Amino acid sequence: MDQIVDLGFCQLHPLNMDSAVDYILELTTFAGAQIVVTPNMDHAQRLSHQSVNTSLQNAYADASLSLCDSRILQKLIQWSGLAPPPVVTGSNLTEVLFERVLNATHEILILGGSKDVFEGLKLRYPTLNLQHHNPSMGFIRNEDEINQICELVRESNADFIFIALGSPQQEILAQRIKQRGIDKGVLLCIGASLLFLTGHEKRAPEWMQLLRMEWFYRLSRNPGRLAGRYFRNFLAAGRIYLKIRSAAKG
């Protein structure tokens, strides 16, 4: 693997989609659970903040694979003087895994997502061995429920665990599962990826993605939920750049 890109607040592996998929398959052969994260600007604004929850920082530090999920973050890395890693979004990675990699020999557990989303997933991939559990709201503050989820993962014997619970909950939960000493499994923190995969939400057109305007497309479709998040990300862009530039200078 090429040299890891250190942003100061997290690290990124400079892998393209094919190399990332190959490495994830390799992770399935490792002993113990392995975490895959895909940091975007929203993750970066929290990770780069001085008062960030250390649980999130620790979860990212414990990840086996960290992929750049933002063309804007990629550009900030380039402006800082570092070699920008390829963009491998969680949504695209999830689709590639479901379309090209997963098969009937794999045990697959979905953590998060509504019943309708899970039913849509089963309809699209009827040959896959899919299990589903949707934690309650606020589960991350309920130690008993976290313990129950960890035990569920153990009993599922899953090769792939897709955690669709939003950040930072999904990353913190992934580390808790790993710390529990699960024998195997790749824990993929995928956010809203299943909504796109099942058609419950639409991705921006490719030309908008290439112009780094996907955020604008999503904002126009769901301003009530996303306006605050994107405003915080905008305000944090300068801080994120300075953190990366400082890391680049060593």
Per-residue pLDDT, 213: 77
Cα distance between residue 134 and residue 112, in whole Å:
4
Mean pLDDT of each 10-residue bin along the chain, 250 residues long: 86 97 96 96 88 79 96 95 95 97 97 96 97 96 96 96 95 95 94 92 78 74 78 88 91
Cα distance between residue 149 and residue 134, in whole Å:
10
Per-residue pLDDT, 200: 82
48: CB partners within 8 A, 6+ apart? 8, 9, 236, 239, 240, 243
* 242 C-beta neighbours (distance < 10 Å), count: 14
Cα distance between residue 202 and residue 41, in whole Å:
20
CB 177 within 8 A of CB 170: no
> Closest Cα partner for 45 from 73, 84, 13?
73
CA distances, 70 to each of 117, 187, 206, 219, 224 (Å): 24, 20, 14, 15, 22
pTM, two decimals, is: 0.92
CB 62 within 8 A of CB 175: yes
Per-residue pLDDT, 232: 86
Per-residue pLDDT, 250: 77
Torsion angle of the four alpha carbons 59, 60, 62, 68, in this order, in degrees rounded to the nearest 10: 140
Per-residue pLDDT, 233: 83
CB 194 within 8 A of CB 218: no
* Category of 157 on φ-ψ map: left (φ > 0), alpha (ψ -120 to 50) or beta: left
Per DSSP, helices labelled H in 16-129 are 17-27, 41-47, 54-61, 71-79, 90-96, 115-124
Domain count across the chain: 1
Q: How many residues does the chain have?
A: 250
Domain that residue 140 falls in: 5-249
